[in-house]
Amino acid sequence: MLGSKTMIRFFLAVLITIWIAPVYADVNLEEYEAVKGTDSFKLYISGVGAGYYWANIHLAIDRKLSPIYCQPGKVGLNANNYLQILDNYLSQPETKASTSPTSPLGLILLFALRDTFPCK
């Protein structure tokens, strides 16, 4: 009897957590302005950026391939930096002309990082 009450409480806690904390999966450009100031979106974009960072390290060190972008060694990026990089990239006229409202922000961030930190 005690075990079933504990299970019910556990599942209720999980459901409440899922319901309260919005999760962003494939946020597109059209939704960007509405969500970019939220903590959960900042966590999302931080995770995407961190994934690209580790992919870069894997390409350069483990695979001996060129990285996707060349971030300076002493520059550490966080959510606010990623948002600034996105905003700067999206403000460019050529980016506006070639980007669809349905383009995923994760992909746009990759292009923005490549544009911000080009490899020589």
In a domain, 9, yes or no: no
pTM of the model: 0.77
In a domain, 88, yes or no: yes
Start-to-end CA distance of the chain, whole Å, equals: 66
In a domain, 22, yes or no: no
**Going by C-beta distance under 8 Å and a sequence separation of 6 or more, which residues neighbour residue 40?**
21, 22, 23, 24
Q: What is the number of domains present in the chain?
A: 1
pLDDT tens digits for range 31-83: 999 999 999 999 999 999 999 999 998 998 888 889 999 998 888 899 999 99
Whole domain around residue 106: which residue ranges?
Answer: 27-116
In a domain, 98, yes or no: yes
